[in-house]
Structure 1
Amino acid sequence: MNTLQWTDTWYLAPEIALAAFTIVLAVLDLLLPKRVDRDAIGWLSLLGLAVAGVFVGWRMYDLYDGGAPQSLLGGSYRVDDFGNLLKLAFLAASFLIVLASLGTVRRSEVPIKGEFYYLTLPAVLGAMVMASSGDLITLFVGLELLSITSYVLVAARKSSGLSSEAAFKYYVTGGTASAFILYGMSFLYGVTGSTSLAAIGKGIGPALTDYRAMVYVAFFLMIAGFAIKLALAPFHAWSPDVYQGAPTPITSFLAVVAKAAAFAMLYRIFVNTAMYATDQTLGGAVRDDLFLALAVLAAAAMIVGTTGALRQHHAKRLLALSGVANAGVLLVPLALDLTNLHASLFSEFFYYLIAYLFMNVGAFAVLTAVSAERGDEEVAAFAGLYHRAPWTAGAMTVLLCSLAGLPVTGGFFGKLFILFGAVQTRAYWLAAILLATTVVAYYVYFTFIRQMYMRSGSTDQRLRIPVPAGIVIWASVLATLALGVLPKPIMEGLDRVFSIVSDFLFQLS
């Protein structure tokens, strides 16, 4: 039965909560007088994200207590721990980003302040749909919901020429990426006769007999589209400009939530379809070619992102190129040899994803406070920060060490687990590139540390950190250190929660 029953709405409670809060807050923003500060909309947006997070946690408890993953609408929407874990990451990151912006986003900078807060909710809703979809159509609907909302958010600084330029570039590149992905999906539908990921996985092997070229075209079109969405080299040129022009909280959202959602979609599609691209005559040649292409993209992103950041002096552009390199790192687990089913694939990916989440959200929160005081976003704005705000400088140092992959932080163990996975599957060349780019990255992030501790600033006035931003910064630091101190229990917990058979392999579940 493909129709949605009333009993099924319980499984969709997180998504329904976000949709309901979006509608209520949009109406409230229209009714409130213009003189009323819109921070109240921000606090209510936080409530909506928290309510959705409670519902997701409740569903995870049900699954852990013996429940089975649920398939809704004929399998086009799945409620499983792959989706639930990613949803919690989306909601946590969005909660921290909105919280950090309270008290720092000024109406003069972002005139549409109310929309700025509540439009985050449908963007997160789109990301959640991408994480739980089991069908190409619902995947694309989630992608477009996230993309269209993000286009508006990037253009929030209407008085800024950089923001308008960033919105135009993001719209053009995002539309191009969506076109590539949709065109690739249409080829997959054409050769298998279905949009269901499970059915495509079953039909992709037989389709290779007559339509091998079309299968290659389908997957390489989608790879190109995802490479643009994820800012993987050589499709990354848009990201520094967009990150620079967008308001800093939205830059943080693009760097974390939008990127993680694209990874969720990429993992859903490739593990359930490309992994089965084998037949009797070619064996696993097609599958191996597709995952080799992902490995090459991962290597290129790590190299180009790290070397490009060496020459940057603008903080947001530097963090954008850092995001390119980190996207390559996050892609490595998927690109590894799956013939023996690298069982810790998702745990390695998710561990580094949550480390990436906290260290980026915290770093952007510090950048927001520093740039608001100095009026610019250059790395030089951090000069003398240790003398003006020693605790904030210490917090930023921890986050930068995690980004660089230094012990004992979440970023170190995240990269270490992925490195071990590459060595275990004998992808030595990929492991060597990951190791080499990590070493080079030490110099990139030392640029900030040198400014904070070894340069004198233009003023001795103490930096005031708003309370919400301070909470976000220190929550990010504590989470980063917890990931670095307790890596084994966290990885074991992920392995207990996540099952690669029931949560990934639709054909076997």
Structure 2
Amino acid sequence: MSFKTLTSFHWSIMTPEFIILGVAAVLTLLDLFMPKKQDRRILGWISIVAILAAMVSVTGLLDQGVTSILDDTFRLDGFAKAFKLLLLAGAGLVMFLAVSYKAKDGMEEYQGEFYYLFLTALLGAMVMTSSGDLITLFVGLELLSISSYILAGIRKHQLKSNESAMKYVINGGISTAITLFGMSYVYGLTGSTNLLAIANKLQSLADPQQVYMLGLAFLMILVGLSFKLAAAPFHMWAPDVYQGAPTPVTAFLSVVSKTAGFVIVIRILLSVFGLAVSAGPGSEPILYKMQDYIAFIAGATMIIGNVVALRQSNIKRMFAYSSIAHAGYILVAFSSMNFIMFDAIWFYLLAYLFMNLGAFAVIQLISEKTGSENISDFAGLYRRSPVLAVTMGILLISLAGFPGTAGFIGKLNIFIGTFVDTPHYVLASIMIATTVVSYFYYFGVMTQMFFRPASDESKFKIPFGIIVVLVVSVAASIVFGVAPNLAIDFLHNHFNGFNDFLK
């Protein structure tokens, strides 16, 4: 590629990625040359500024039309911009948790590494949102995954952290291999890795044997990516990883990494299989033929996540199974495959971002104070800190999906979507039943906070970063629950209903 061609690209559409990449490189050098005894939290504050700058640059690109560079391997469309905002908002709040995290568990030695590894994981997720090619999607996925493996095991002197990292690496490696094998089938059938080129070629697929191979590719990619989403029955790694990782890392995996997982699911499955015919030219797309498989995974994920969460005594394991259940709710929206699918998924991930990160802020505070992560440690929280207890209560009822909260609107959108076009009565029924089941374990935590005596009457000193996360999370959970049109109108006004997704 000549220098003239290289400079002719619209590199400005990659400004958010360049900001994160540049700051990650700078933090690596700063951490290397800073005195060992110097507090590394300054690196966290620099990271927060970088994330805010990247958000500003994304908002500056909202009015930009669909633009692609590097032979359409990197594209900026409505989908990319909408999900980059989610990823950056979630990453910013997680970073506030990280700078408030009191590392007394062996992580203080590697606190500098935490911040720039976090940024590289975020960079991988952002690249995935704008990928127009299987190769760049895979590179972004591996950048996110490898950084996450290290973050999960960053407390290398702790047995639980070692166990979580080992399980994460093994399951992640298996899922990557299965996904890549499915991608290789797609490449073999089309001779291209470009998503739009693949979609165009698969529309005219006529050979029954090739259609059969494409079906196998779909199943392998679906199974491989289901590991990334922690969707049942491929969820085995999540509880141990969530428990063994530091709380900011757990929060990152539950929100930012999960959002990135749905990004790649939508990018690959809709782009590759949304237009691919299932039995020759003019037939129904293969994605619709495979709808039942996605619906089965969604139903199993909701049931297993919510039922097993009932038996948990560790708060982080409970939230791991809660996260699995929420992945099932979002898969319901995806398996419905109707015109409100994008709206329902984006809004639910937005609501989940705030209510889950706010809850993890309280979990981090309690676990640092008590030195353990048992649900019983929340006993008497209302007597010790009424504001903290009420805040956690609001976030829990939002996670449970009570009216007046963002969680309720998110679930309502998905529930309505199950009856649009082709009704999915079984999925809708499972969603209602499992939501009711979730009330038991969410309200179990509230029972501890409001109706159990406190074993320790000492008060809480809440760090500034935790305050920021709690204020933003509670305000967003209430505002988007009372006035959801603020988010929905923003989505419609700036992203054109994702009509440019396959253009």
TM-score (ref. length: structure 1)? 0.95
What residue is the counterpart of 2:164 in the other structure? 166
Letter in 2 for 1:172: I
One-letter identity of the residue aligned with 2:485 = K
Aligned to 1:289: 289
Equivalent position SS for 1:78: strand
Tell me the equivalent position of 1:503.
500
> Could you tell me which amino acid in structure 2 is paired with residue 161 of structure 1?
L
1:42 aligns with 2:41: no
2:480/2:486 contact within 8 Å kept: no
Equivalent-residue separation in structure 2 for 1:368 and 1:6 (angstroms) = 48
Alignment-derived partner of residue 24 in structure 2: 22
Query: Which moved further from structure 2: 481-490 or 140-149?
Result: 481-490
Q: Which amino acid aligns with 2:286?
A: V
**2:29 pairs with 1:32:** no
What is the aligned partner in structure 2 of residue 439 from structure 1?
436
> Any conservation in 1 of the 2:275–2:286 contact (CA below 8 Å)?
no
Verify: 1:153 aligned to 2:155, yes or no: no
Contact kept in structure 2, 1:4 and 1:72, CA below 8 Å:
no
Moved more, 275-284 or 97-106: 275-284
8 A contact 2:330–2:348 mirrored in 1: yes
Displacement of 1:13:
0.7
Residue 33 of structure 1 deviates from its aligned partner by: 0.4
**Cα distance per residue 1:9-63 (max 9 Å; x no partner):** 2111110111110111110111110111111111111111111111111101x33
Shift of 1:496: 2.5
User: What residue number does 1:456 align with?
Assistant: 453
> Equivalents in 2 of 1:501, 1:454: separation in Å?
47
C-alpha displacement of 1:263: 0.4
**1:265-414 equivalence runs, <5 A:** 265-278=264-277, 279-280=279-280, 283-284=283-284, 286-337=286-337, 342-414=338-410
Structure 1 residue 262: Cα displacement: 1.0
C-alpha deviation, 1:6, in angstroms: 5.2
- Residues 297 and 328, structure 2, Cα contact 8 Å, conserved in 1: yes
- 1:71 aligned counterpart, secondary structure: strand
Give the corresponding residue for 1:138: 136
> Take 2:15 and 2:102, find their aligned partners in 1: how far apart are those partners?
31
**Of 5-14 and 361-370, the range deviating more from structure 2:** 5-14
Q: In structure 1, how many angstroms separate the alpha carbons of the residues matched to 2:122 and 2:489? A: 28
Alignment of structure 1 residues 32-181 onto 2, 5 Å = 32-60=34-62, 62-63=63-64, 68-106=65-103, 108-110=105-107, 111-181=109-179
- 1:196-240 CA-partner distances (Å, limit 9, x unpaired): 111111122333524122101111000000111101001101100
Partner of 1:216: 215
Alpha-carbon shift at residue 280 of structure 1 (Å) = 4.0
Number of residue pairs the alignment of both structures matches = 497
Distance across 2 between alignment mates of 1:108 and 1:449: 28
Aligned partners of 1:135 and 1:197 also within 8 Å: yes
Distance in structure 2 (CA, Å) of the matches to 1:69 and 1:286: 27
CA distance in 2, matches of 1:120, 1:285: 38
Relative to the length of structure 2, the TM-score reads 0.96
Partner of 2:256: 257
How far has the Cα of 1:81 moved from its partner?
1.7
Q: Can you give the 5+ residue segments of structure 2 that lack an aligned partner in the other structure?
A: none
Q: What is the Cα-based RMSD across aligned positions, in Å?
A: 1.6
Question: Are the counterparts in 1 of residues 399 and 407 from structure 2 also a CA contact under 8 Å?
Answer: yes
Letter in 1 for 2:411: K
Residue 502 of structure 1, CA deviation: 4.1
Aligned partner of 2:14 in structure 1 is 12
- Residue 103 (structure 1) shift: 3.0
Q: Given that residues 203 and 281 in structure 2 are in contact (C-alpha distance below 8 angstroms), is that contact kept between their aligned partners in structure 1? A: no
Amino acid at match of 2:296: V
- What is the one-letter code of the residue matched to 1:50? L
SS for the counterpart of 2:142 is: helix
Cα distance in 1 for partners of 2:6, 2:218 equals: 31
* Contact preservation (8 Å) 1:361, 1:476: yes
Q: Distance in 1 between matches of 2:485 and 2:37?
A: 52
- Residue 7 of structure 1 deviates from its aligned partner by 4.8
Find the counterpart in structure 1 of residue 192 from structure 2.
194
Question: Are 2:121 and 2:147, in contact at CA under 8 Å, matched by a contact in 1?
Answer: yes
Q: What whole-Å deviation, never above 9, does each CA across 1:143-191 have from its counterpart, x for those lacking one? A: 0000011111111112210000100100111111111111100000001
Q: Secondary structure at the match of 1:207?
A: coil
Cα distance change on mapping 1:468 and 1:223 into 2, 3 Å: same
- Return the offset for 1:409: 0.4
Distance in 2 between residues matched to 1:372 and 1:409, nearest whole Å: 28
Identity in percent = 42
The superposition leaves residues 369-418 of structure 1 with CA deviations (integer Å, 9 ceiling, x where unpaired) of: 00000000011111111111110111100100011000110000000011
Compute the displacement of 1:71 (Å): 1.0
Shift of 1:108: 4.4
The separation in 2 between residues aligned to 1:7 and 1:286, in whole angstroms, is 35
Residues 1:471 and 2:473 aligned together: no
Superimposed CA distance per residue, residues 80-108 of structure 1 (whole angstroms, 9 cap, x where no aligned partner): 12111111111111111111222323254
CA distance in 1, matches of 2:356, 2:6: 38
SS where residue 238 of structure 2 aligns? Answer: helix
